[in-house]
Amino acid sequence: MSFRAFIKRLAEAGKLMEIHEPVSPKLEAPAMAKKAGQSILFHAVNGSKVVMNLLNSRDTLAMALDTPPQDIINKLINAKDGSTVIVEDSPTKEVVSEPDLSKLPIMTHFDKDGAPYITAGVVISEFEGIMNASVHRLMMLSKTELVARLVAPRHTYLLHKKASEQGKPLPIAIAIGIDPITLFAACTRVPMGEEFNYASALKGAPLELFKCENGVAVPDAEIVLEGYIHPTKRAKEGPFVDITGTYDLVREEPVIELTRMMCKEDPIYHGILPAGNEHRLLMGVPYEPMIYKAVGSVTKVKNVVLTEGGCCYLHAVVQIEKQTERDGKNAMMMAFAAHTSLKHVVIVDDDIDIFDPREVEYAIATRVRGDRDILILPHVRGSSLDPCCMPDGTSTKVGIDATKALGDERFERVTK
């Protein structure tokens, strides 16, 4: 399903708010999107169409993946191998021009932000035959320049490092407004070069790609910005709000120089609200199958969720069908290993609805004895996004085994 087809489907399902009045890209549109808390299509942001909160809930993500919300994890785990196909033409080439970022509705999201930011730009890079696709926040420096936050040792960082060691620019294309499954695939940490194959696997059909002038192959998109990451040039990146809803540190990051821009007629720009549900779900949901598989190697796992209250990143709830009395703690260890940014994990039985925070709290209230069921792991590598992480990057992880003791027949829970 294309980006536009998905927006249409949201509208038909009554899940799309539409704003026809002119709205400013500076603070106003992001504030309205935040308040709306649902998918929203602006018809006139700096004269352009903008969609925000596209995948703002498990329901809309499930719609995109064509599966019920509670089965997202099964859909992700069962994706078979996929491959891509190169095509000659694309509607993305309808309007080709010199790069000029001032023509796009690039938004300033919060008042202390360093500059306007592209937040839904999939950066596709290619070097020595190896490609990568991932979303990076991109701060606008001028009409033709951006500064990208490249986290070590993520794949774009590695490809840029390799190119710059040879004194070469890294060719890239930034695709904005791509189909939701391919966007989701680009947010998933798959082996180097596999994002678009993974997208094809999730779609069940080969993803079509076309080549930019600089050789980078991109999927159908509303807007494509072509250029390269400079081998040495850096600029201050930030301040910018990350998934925890707090300002990230300002750092010197690599500069992107644009050479060309193309788009469809009357393109729909996609903006992801920083710290909004869409941002959090795209960051977190791809880890759920990884945790599921890891826990599945030590016990019978039923489901996994990275909870919204934990920014879809720092807190997991893992549902197991306990086989032996040590399963809870083994499950915790596997969850921490599978998602190294995970800070707290709660293990529950399969009668607990993991999508309902009250049910999870109920399990903690009625099945946890602190001296027996809590595992504290001090001084381990944490998430750089955790506001109480130590300066050296370490933190303390806590696992809570909220499963019932096996064989304890007292206090049976009533069921409806």
Query: Considering the rule CB under 5 A, would residue 155 count as an interface residue with Mn ion?
Result: yes
Provide the minimum distance between the beta carbon of 186 and Mn ion in the complex, in angstroms, as a whole number. Answer: 8
- CB nearer to Mn ion: pick between 151 and 250: 151
Provide the minimum distance between the beta carbon of 190 and Mn ion in the complex, in angstroms, as a whole number. Answer: 6
Of 179, 242, 353, 373, which one is the catalytic site residue?
A: 242
Structure tokens given for 391: 């300066």
Q: What is the residue type of 154?
A: R
Structure tokens given for 179: 């189909």
In degrees rounded to 5, what are phi and psi of residue 11? Answer: -65, -45
Residues 82-121, one symbol each (x = binds Mn ion by CB under 5 A, - = not), give ----------------------------------------
Structure tokens given for 318: 């893992």
Give all strands of the β-sheet with 208-211 in edge-to-edge order.
85-86, 208-211, 217-219
- Tell me if 176 sits within 8 A of 123, measured CB to CB: no
Q: Which one of the spans 130-138, 169-177, 373-381, 403-411 is the region binding Mn ion (CB under 5 A)?
A: 130-138
What is the DSSP track for 349-406?
-TTS-TT-HHHHHHHHHHH--HHHHEEEEEEEE--TT-TT--TTSEEEEEEEEESPPT
Cα–Cα separations (whole angstroms), residue 149 to 183, 213, 286: 18, 24, 20
Place of tokens 């603070």: 27
- Tell me if 25 sits within 8 A of 19, measured CB to CB: no
Helix (H/G/I), strand (E/B), else coil: 59 = helix
Which single residue brings its beta carbon nearest to Mn ion? 155
Query: Considering the rule CB under 5 A, would residue 160 count as an interface residue with Mn ion?
Result: no
Query: Considering the rule CB under 5 A, would residue 125 count as an interface residue with Mn ion?
Result: no
Provide the minimum distance between the beta carbon of 50 and Mn ion in the complex, in angstroms, as a whole number. Answer: 27
Q: Which of residues 199-258 bind Mn ion (CB under 5 A)?
A: none
- Rounded CA separation 108/42 (Å): 15
- CB nearer to Mn ion: pick between 140 and 178: 178
Q: Which one of the spans 94-102, 131-139, 227-235, 239-247 is the region binding Mn ion (CB under 5 A)?
A: 131-139
Q: Is the peptide bond before 274 cis (omega within 30 degrees of 0)?
A: no
HSE toward the beta carbon, residue 321, CA cutoff 13 A: 3
Structure tokens given for 57: 């809930």
Query: Considering the rule CB under 5 A, would residue 136 count as an interface residue with Mn ion?
Result: no
- CB nearer to Mn ion: pick between 132 and 200: 132
DSSP bridge pairs for 95: 263
Q: Which one of the spans 46-54, 59-67, 124-132, 161-169 is the region binding Mn ion (CB under 5 A)?
A: 124-132
- CB nearer to Mn ion: pick between 46 and 156: 156
Helix (H/G/I), strand (E/B), else coil: 287 = helix
Q: Which one of the spans 106-114, 154-162, 231-239, 290-298 is the region binding Mn ion (CB under 5 A)?
A: 154-162
Structure tokens given for 335: 């969850």
Query: Considering the rule CB under 5 A, would residue 39 count as an interface residue with Mn ion?
Result: no
Q: Which of 132, 144, 188, 319 forms a contact with Mn ion (CB under 5 A)?
A: 132
Query: Considering the rule CB under 5 A, would residue 188 count as an interface residue with Mn ion?
Result: no
Query: Considering the rule CB under 5 A, would residue 182 count as an interface residue with Mn ion?
Result: no
- CB nearer to Mn ion: pick between 110 and 287: 287
Provide the minimum distance between the beta carbon of 155 and Mn ion in the complex, in angstroms, as a whole number. Answer: 4
Q: Which one of the spans 35-43, 125-133, 203-211, 393-401 is the region binding Mn ion (CB under 5 A)?
A: 125-133
Provide the minimum distance between the beta carbon of 235 and Mn ion in the complex, in angstroms, as a whole number. Answer: 24
Query: Considering the rule CB under 5 A, would residue 197 count as an interface residue with Mn ion?
Result: no
242 is catalytic: yes
Active site residues per annotation:
242
Residues that bind Mn ion (CB under 5 A): 132, 155
